[in-house]
Amino acid sequence: NAGVTQTPKFRILKIGQSMTLQCTQDMNHNYMYWYRQDPGMGLKLIYYSVGAGITDKGEVPNGYNVSRSTTEDFPLRLELAAPSQTSVYFCASSYPRRPPVMNTEAFFGQGTRLTVV
Amino acid sequence: GQQLNQSPQSMFIQEGEDVSMNCTSSSIFNTWLWYKQDPGEGPVLLIALYKAGELTSNGRLTAQFGITRKDSFLNISASIPSDVGIYFCAGQGKTSYDKVIFGPGTSLSVIP
């Protein structure tokens, strides 16, 4: 199993350009997440999805969009890139446990380092 | 909203020393997770805790789920140079539909 795979690993964008960060997982996990990590900081949740066709906003969703048409893929879209979106982006996935243990842990991809100039 | 605090923010220790760090929240969590992030890599899960009071070990690492459900602790015994990295705690709420929230991290440096 490859786990969680993110592409590209690095990208430089000009202000106003758009791009899609790809994320795919082969673990048949229901839940997928997008986080951003600014230098020296923790992880901020952008969007998450509890299953195909279902997405919800996290802490910092502005300037981003997501879709979840399949269980495997959870792309993150930046429509009008801004310097404030310079960050490292991590995709993660997790699976629901059976009762009585209902909670779970997230597995991360290697990250996409994005610079907006 | 839910927020996690970690302390200390950073630590510089001698190789061989023991390390303690903690994570606190104003909200109750049903799951506590500890991750380690090496430079340029994604976080990797170290220990998962699912029950208040639970004490779990993974090699030289030991983590505890606080009785109040609002805190968790991670200890590393006999530190080695490869322990260097950022340690994140994360919490998840009452159900498996709740999102995972991360703390700001504790940066650990080990001096040989």
* pLDDT in the model for residue B94: 66
**H helices, E strands: number in chain B:** 0, 11
- Identify the band that residue A88 occupies on the pLDDT scale cut at 50, 70 and 90: very high
Angle, CA B29 vertex, CA A98 and CA A94 arms, to 5°? 45
Give residues with Cβ within 8 angstroms of A78, minimum separation 6: A13, A18, A19, A20, A21, A63, A64, A85, A114
Which positions in chain B touch A111 (Cβ < 8 Å)? 40-42
- Shortest Cα distance, chain A CAs vs residue B31, angstroms: 6
Average pLDDT over residues A89-100: 74
DSSP state of B103: -
d(CA B42, CA B36): 9
User: A26-30, B27-31, B85-89: which has the highest mean pLDDT?
Assistant: B85-89
- Shortest Cα distance, chain B CAs vs residue A103, angstroms: 5
Percent of chain A with pLDDT over 90: 68
* pLDDT in the model for residue B31: 87
Residue of chain B whose Cα is closest to the Cα of A108: B42
- Is A82 in CB contact (< 8 Å) with chain B? no
Which positions in chain B touch A43 (Cβ < 8 Å)? 43, 88, 102
* pLDDT in the model for residue B100: 77
d(CA A101, CA B22): 24
Residue of chain B whose Cα is closest to the Cα of A10: B40
Residue B77 has which token pair?
């015994």
* pLDDT in the model for residue B1: 61
Q: Between β-strands A4-7 and A54-57, what pairing exists: parallel, antiparallel or unpaired?
A: unpaired
* pLDDT in the model for residue A86: 97
Q: Would the CB atoms of A108 and B43 count as touching at under 8 Å? A: yes
pLDDT at residue B64 greater than cutoff 60: yes
Q: Kindly write down the DSSP assignment for every residue of chain A, as one continuous string.
A: ---EEEE-SEEEE-TT--EEEEEEESS--SEEEEEEE-TT--EEEEEEEEETTEEEE-S--TTEEE--SSSSB--EEESS--GGG-EEEEEEEE-PPPTT------EE---EEEEE-
- Identify the band that residue A107 occupies on the pLDDT scale cut at 50, 70 and 90: confident
Would you say B15 and B28 are in contact if contact means Cβ atoms under 8 Å apart? Answer: no
d(CA A3, CA A107): 8
* pLDDT in the model for residue B97: 57
Between A18 and B101, residue with greater pLDDT: A18
- pLDDT tens digits for A33-71? 999 999 878 888 899 998 899 999 988 999 999 999 999
User: A30-34, B18-22, B24-28: which has the highest mean pLDDT?
Assistant: B18-22
* pLDDT in the model for residue A97: 58
Q: Would the CB atoms of A103 and B30 count as touching at under 8 Å? A: yes
Average pLDDT over residues A99-114: 74
- Shortest Cα distance, chain A CAs vs residue B43, angstroms: 6
